[in-house]
Amino acid sequence: MANIPTIIYAGTSISWQDSYQQYPATEFTLKYTLRGPTALDITASAYGNDYKVELTPTDTENWIPGHYWWYAIIEKQNFSIVIASGETEILPNPQTISSPFDGRSQIKRILDTLQAVMEGRASEKDLELEINGRRIKKMSHQELIEAYKLYKELYKQELFSQGKLKNNVFYLFRSVK
């Protein structure tokens, strides 16, 4: 199983170690291919029979933040196999972020915007308006509520995938007569 971090900050040190017993580092090469906003390729070093990746802040300083799909590829001469794959998020270097800064995800920003629109429209009745012959139609209250429910669920999924929300299971016990 690959131990590549699920969250990586550009411009910081990163290290992880992987072990694939049937493909010892003494005989094979392990490469990580990351694809997203840009292409990133990393070659692991041999660490006994295991593989180790050690990247410095200089190695990662120009990494473009975004969502990446990665593939761990074992190679040896005319042999190549994808041994693992997954997703990771590269975030901006915290030391180089200028202000103002909004650290919310896109889903959270949309959810907050929908909530603000619903709050601001509590007494508003006009769903269409016309300015200089251009007609603008706003979302109906029902459309806003449906969009809000959708983004609220997406935000819950996002929090769950980041380990910030637990999946609770509730039990109801009743006496049986």
Q: Does 11 share its domain with 87?
A: yes
**Phi, psi angle pair for 125, to nearest 5°:** -110, -20
- 130-159 per-position pLDDT tens digit: 777 787 777 787 888 898 899 999 998 888
Q: Does 16 share its domain with 68?
A: yes
* Domain CATH number, residue 36: 2.60.40.10
Range of the domain at 147: 106-161
Q: Pick the last residue of a domain from 64, 91, 118.
A: 91
- 45-97 per-position pLDDT tens digit: 999 999 999 999 999 999 999 999 999 999 999 999 999 999 999 999 988 88
**Whole-prediction pTM value?**
0.65
7-9 and 79-91 strand pairing: parallel
Top-confidence residue, 172 or 19 = 19
Q: How far apart are CA 3 and CA 40, in angstroms?
A: 17
Q: Does 53 share its domain with 27?
A: yes
Q: How far apart are CA 102 and CA 69, in angstroms?
A: 24
Structural domains counted in the chain: 2
